[in-house]
Amino acid sequence: MVVQQKRYTLAEYQAFAELPENKNRLFELIDGEIVEKVASFTPSKIAMRIGRFFGNFTDDIGYVTGADGTYVLSETHSFMPDVGYISKASLPQEPEREVYGAPDLAVEVKSPTDSKRELRLKAEDYLRFGAKMVWLVFPEERRVEVYELDQDVLELGIDDTLDGGDVLPGFSLRVSEIFPA
């Protein structure tokens, strides 16, 4: 849900997000527009499952963030992926607040208020600003789209297996494992 139609700078967005009336709300800055993130149980549950698998695999090599982990990508883009992974090589020192830069791998789980078009544009933005891989998860269809720079989109179904590619060498996850039974 777009909160305002005006184009905001990063500083204006951060000031808006820190207003007392916005204390318990989550926002992203997408192409200069402030967009409120709307909570939804099933997408959150799926994101946590993926985050758990990432966390078990990456403990010593990087950081896994949840839906309130902020990545400032540019002056007009600040995203909170449902799950983010960034290596310690990309982020040698853990920040106090947001990360200035893209996650190495971003996962966005479609919620009922998201459109596929918006999610796909967001995946392209992640890559444009430095992410190496993006997974878009579609719970209703029980499938995942994998985005990598200069590659065709890979579409995986319930019987397929995701892998971490160059971002998380050796990591694999059956698509069926991320969807509730």
In this structure, what CATH number is given to the domain that contains residue 123? 3.90.1570.10
Distance in angstroms (rounded) separating the CA atoms of residues 93 and 89: 9
- Nearest Cα to 136, choosing from 83, 87, 90? 83
Residue 140 belongs to domain spanning: 40-68+81-178
Summarize pLDDT for 57-74 with one digit per residue, the tens. 987 899 999 988 999 999
| Residue 8 falls inside a structural domain | no
Question: Which runs of E-coded beta strand occur in 2-59?
Answer: 27-30, 33-36
CA distance 12 to 23: 16
Q: How far apart are CA 111 and CA 75, in angstroms?
A: 26
Taking the model in full, what pTM does it have?
A: 0.92
- How confident is the model over 7-44, as pLDDT tens digits? 899 999 999 999 999 988 889 999 999 998 888 898 99
Number of domains in the chain: 1
The verdict on residue 99 lying in a domain is: yes
Interval 124-135: pLDDT, tens: 999 999 999 999
**144 in a domain, yes or no?**
yes
Structural domain contains residue 2: no
Residue 31 lies in a domain: no
* CA–CA distances in Å: residue 135 to residues 81, 86, 157: 10, 14, 13
Q: What percent of the chain has pLDDT over 70?
A: 96
DSSP reduced 3-state for 129: coil
Model pLDDT, residue 171: 96
